[in-house]
């Protein structure tokens, strides 16, 4: 396949995922923002390179489009993590207490990202997206559609 065709295909795929990830993430952000008493300015979904999420200037939240390929509880953890940064810019004990208040099982999500990742770094904001490889798209999309997925299953 000529290189340009492959590139077009990838761009199309990324756009497709961004379009689908955005409403889901925006919904989760609205839900958790109310519970965490924060007011993010907006949600952007794009290619964030090695990060799953980031909290930008003006309280904008950014999420990697690949978040939609993660199991729902993991994607929710990323949302909660970034929202907690609106209170605490750094990973202080207070920051983790805020995360824990909303997601008591957050350590498992953190571990999940860490063990599924190639990177030895602590995968929080500096998550290595290239490290996450879903077994197959079909599997992850299927997983994605069952919000009742128990944490114990992964």
Interaction site with Zn ion (CB under 5 A): 124-125
Judge contact between 69 and 144, C-beta under 8 A: yes
- Residue 108 backbone phi and psi in degrees, to 5: -70, -35
Only one residue has tokens 């958790």, namely 32
Give Cα 39 distance to the centre of its chain: 18
Residue closer to Zn ion (CB basis): 55 or 149: 55
DSSP 125: T
Residue closer to Zn ion (CB basis): 66 or 98: 98
**Helix and strand totals (H; E) in the chain:** 5, 3
| In the complex, least distance from residue 42 CB atom to Zn ion, rounded to whole angstroms | 18
Residue closer to Zn ion (CB basis): 20 or 91: 91
Residue 137 CB burial class (10 angstroms; 0-12, 13-18, ≥19): exposed
| In the complex, least distance from residue 72 CB atom to Zn ion, rounded to whole angstroms | 20
| In the complex, least distance from residue 123 CB atom to Zn ion, rounded to whole angstroms | 10
Residue closer to Zn ion (CB basis): 43 or 140: 43
| In the complex, least distance from residue 53 CB atom to Zn ion, rounded to whole angstroms | 8
Q: Which residue is at the shortest CB distance from Zn ion?
A: 125
């Amino acid at each position: 396949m000529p290189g340009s065709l492959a590139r077009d295909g990838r761009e199309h795929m990324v756009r497709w995922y961004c379009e689908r990830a955005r409403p889901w993430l925006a919904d989760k952000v609205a839900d958790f923002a109310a519970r965490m008493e924060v007011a993010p300015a907006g949600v952007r979904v794009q290619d964030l390179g090695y990060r799953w999420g980031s909290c930008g200037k003006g309280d904008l939240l950014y999420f990697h489009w690949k978040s939609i390929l993660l199991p729902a509880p993991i994607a929710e953890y990323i949302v909660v993590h970034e929202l907690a940064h609106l209170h605490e810019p750094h990973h202080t004990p207070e920051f983790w207490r805020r995360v824990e208040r909303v997601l008591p099982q957050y350590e498992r999500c953190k571990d999940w990202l860490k063990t599924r990742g190639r990177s030895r770094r602590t995968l929080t904001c500096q998550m290595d997206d290239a490290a996450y490889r879903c077994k197959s798209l079909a599997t992850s999309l299927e997983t994605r559609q069952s919000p009742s997925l128990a944490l114990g299953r992964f």
